[in-house]
Structure 1
Amino acid sequence: MTRVWRWNRPVTVREVLEDLQEERSIAYTTVMTVMDNLHQKGWMRREQQGRAYQYAAVSTRAAYSAALMHEAWSASDNHAAALVDFFGMMSPEEGEALRDALRVVQLSGVRLDVPGR
């Protein structure tokens, strides 16, 4: 997925294979199987172009990361404590990124209050 997100365009198995082979030896069938599995799981869509499929990510890397964070946070029985611990693990740069994101959310008019309070 990292390669597909980085290129931000539809890619073929051959393109991913050639990129991966710059780092390590890997078989075409291995890359094809992984990309097909990602397609079957709904992570990628594919279209046939001639004899080959072109694969593209269904969502952005940011959306995927957000879903993972939401899933992890939802698993906690104490959301506030989980957030406090999470913030405590952040580097100063990550903290600044969080502040920037909150400013963007506030400027966009998204409400962060909890319904029913």
Structure 2
Amino acid sequence: MFIPLYGRAVDDWKPDAILRDTRAAEIVASIDYDFSRFDTLPSLTGTVLRTSLFDRWVTGFLAAHPTGTGRRDRGRTQHPVRAPRQRPHALVGSRPARRDRPAPHRLR
């Protein structure tokens, strides 16, 4: 969990930051840990870009469905407050799972 946190902090330290997460920078500064081992990882940039996309998707979803909430729980989505069920897979950007055959990891 340190890589996403550090990625957000490193992004905040740049003048052209994507996320501007000053809280992540404060947390990283307060933790006694050598984060330099993550400096060469390409996943730092990937983490920031993924977070930026996810933030946009969630912001758009909540703008369209102000009362919509959802929680991922063991592969099933539970909706404490039901939002319209037009295209639930549109939030995560993937196709709905096929239910007519078992998942590949269950074929063994």
Please report the TM-score for the alignment, with normalisation by the length of structure 2. 0.29
Instruction: Write 1 or 2 for the structure with the bigger share of strand.
Output: 1
Instruction: Write 1 or 2 for the structure with the bigger share of helix.
Output: 1
